[in-house]
Amino acid sequence: MLPLSFVSRISSLQGTSLLGQMGLLCLVAALVVHFAVDAAAAPALTLGRLALARASPAAASASAIVMSAFSCQVNVPPLYRELRVRTPARMRSVAARAVGICLLCYLLVGLAGAADFPRHTQGNIMRHYCLADPAASAHGARPPRVMVPAFAAIMVTVLVAYPISVFPTRLALDSLCFGRMGERHRTARHVGLTLA
């Protein structure tokens, strides 16, 4: 991902961002399909045991995860600067669509995971799925073999997300450390901060 981390415009990452989004959608679809097959085969073990809300210390600590799930604000200034039509209304529209898509994906993954594994949901939903035997199920059913491609898709998503994280980090460090330099040594700073 290092070559992609060197881009100077965030819009240059739109292709890899789309690839990452497709990977995420593949994972969401796989989890929903896996749940649907398990729920059809063993409804008493899935939907029958589902509790949508439980008061516990773990539920309170989950609020930090929920808040960080929507922490894309570091990319807002560069995105706004690169919009063709720069208006607050246009930025609100872009942000609303992005957060809406994220919310829908998170809800589908959360509900499918909680309903598929209601009594023993782990922090990382992917730990419930066995790659050594993709046909194995916690409920004795034979779910579709959708999890192997889903693992590959989420791996691609994580990989292509790295340059998107590098961009605002480099921008913030450049502004913080070299803000008074203006355009002097811009290329050297860009390369050095990216490598750092």
pLDDT tens for each residue of 6-45: 999 888 999 998 999 999 999 999 999 988 888 888 888 8
User: Cβ(116)–Cβ(46) under 8 Å?
Assistant: yes
Using an 8 Å Cβ cutoff, are 190 and 170 in contact? Answer: yes
Angle made by CA atoms 27, 30, 36, in degrees to the nearest 5 = 140
User: Rounded to 5 degrees, what are φ and ψ at 11?
Assistant: -65, -20
CB neighbours of residue 129 within 10 Å: 22
Class of residue 167 by CB neighbours under 10 A (exposed 0-12, middle 13-18, buried 19+): buried
Residue 49, pLDDT > 70, answer yes
For the segment 71-119, what is each residue's pLDDT rounded down to a tens digit? 777 788 888 988 999 999 999 999 999 889 989 998 998 888 888 888 7
Q: What pLDDT is stored for residue 136 in this prediction?
A: 56
Listed in sequence order, the DSSP H helices in 70-185 are: 76-82, 88-116, 147-178
State the pLDDT at residue 65. 72
Output the pTM of the full model: 0.77
Copy the structure tokens of residue 178. 């070299």
pLDDT, position 170: 92
Say if CB 190 and CB 8 are below 8 A apart.
yes
Give the per-residue pLDDT at 168.
86
Q: Are 37 and 135 in contact (CB under 8 A)?
A: no
Contact indicator for 91, 80 with CB cutoff of 8 Å: yes
Residue 128 has pLDDT above 70, yes or no: yes
pLDDT digits (tens, 9 = 90+) for 129-157: 766 665 555 555 555 577 888 889 989 99
Q: What is the pLDDT of residue 133?
A: 61
Q: Residue 42 has what pLDDT?
A: 82
Reported as a pLDDT band with limits 50, 70 and 90, residue 50 is confident
Tally: H helices and E strands in the chain: 7, 0
Q: What is residue 122's three-state secondary structure? A: coil
Beta-carbon contacts of 79 under 8 Å, excluding residues fewer than 6 positions away, are 10, 91, 94
Q: What is the pLDDT of residues 160-181, one digit of tens each?
A: 988 988 988 898 899 999 989 9
Integer Cα distance of 142 and 50 in angstroms? 21
